[in-house]
Structure 1
């Protein structure tokens, strides 16, 4: 058995929110678990994972991009790998950028790094 993995986009400002969604069908068709960071670059972000309903039924849904498959036997590794991905830290103090030599990191960058690690570790095919 395999689970389908997606990047989901929700409308947001200044950029859309991105999160990893793995469709496990635990609470019905098209339901699963979400893995993402929440917060902002003014205060910093935190990692969160939870069960999740149908993405298209969520407020602000913008799109779903299929990433690939996670084998059921490898699914238990997803949480631990996502927890290893660096969460975006506080990057501004008001208008002042705290680390001008570093690229800004938001949820999109975190999600991209999480997907890359899942692929590198052979969990996401």
Structure 2
């Protein structure tokens, strides 16, 4: 039985260890990167639909996301919400291009609707 040369015995395991650490060096499998981008795009689309945002707003707010994946996520969430009769949540960030309305302390309603009008009409 022949023995492998000593240099091959030393270098082969060392080379295997170096190649195993490629992901730590930033060398990643293109298929994994594409799958991660698609999953992220679907998550963005789902979140946009849940926040009652139009798909166009979603594209504007997330220019780096893949549009096809964003649309797929938005559509899946739309179907899910319709099937389960779920309401969306009001977005906290204003829609793109819309100016944020100035809100003063007086404009914030702390009373039931109409109560302030009734009070002001009685004092006039």
- TM-score where L is the length of structure 2: 0.22
The higher-RCO structure (CA 8 Å, 6+ apart) is: 1
- In our comparison, the structure showing a higher alpha carbon Rg is 2
- TM-score where L is the length of structure 1: 0.22
